[in-house]
Amino acid sequence: MRMLLVAALVVSLASPALADGRHDFDFEIGSWTIAPGGYGHVVRELWSGATIAQLIVPGPARRVRGSLLSLYDPNRRLWHVYWADAKDGSLSKPLTGSFRNGVGTFTGADTRDGHPILVRIVYDRITASSFQTIQSESGDNGRRWSDIVKRSYARVTSH
């Protein structure tokens, strides 16, 4: 009985750190190939609770199109994911969300053809060597979603 109490105490003391969320994107640190398209995706940790992902488009110059910046707010236990566009130097409004049961769901406001929409990206099927994302849009404030693109990621190198 005493061992069970000690084990329960150890688990309860460790749980806040495990449930904190600032390491939710650690699975993504490393180099990936993306299908469809064959793009490269290189993710680095900036600090505990922040990553930056660089999208590399194949071609003669292997030019970079943009980066994803993911920042964790430990007080609200939410991630903010920004797109930094290399074409015009702009930084998007963030997609905000979290991981639950191994699935990350992030939503935010955007526009399509001058009309307001919601955008959602879901990170799913996460393993040590692969994961997928599904990008969706909603023109009716999230009542219905249309999948725009599904991407599969395969690990090239880890961190």
Q: Domain coordinates of the chain in residue numbers? A: 22-158
Residues 149, 142, 28, 69, CA torsion sign: positive
Residue 134: predicted pLDDT: 96
**Residues of the chain under the 50 pLDDT cut:** 1-17
Residue 27: predicted pLDDT: 95
Residue 87: predicted pLDDT: 82
Residues 126 and 27: their CA atoms lie apart, in Å, by: 8
Residue 19: predicted pLDDT: 65
The partner residues of 123 in beta bridges, in order of sequence, read 104, 133
For the entire predicted model, the pTM comes to 0.81
Residue 64: predicted pLDDT: 62
Instruction: List, in sequence order, every beta strand (DSSP E) within the chain.
Output: 30-35, 39-47, 50-56, 64-73, 78-85, 95-100, 103-112, 115-124, 130-138, 146-158
Protein fold of 22-158 = Lipocalin (2.40.128)
Residue 5: predicted pLDDT: 31
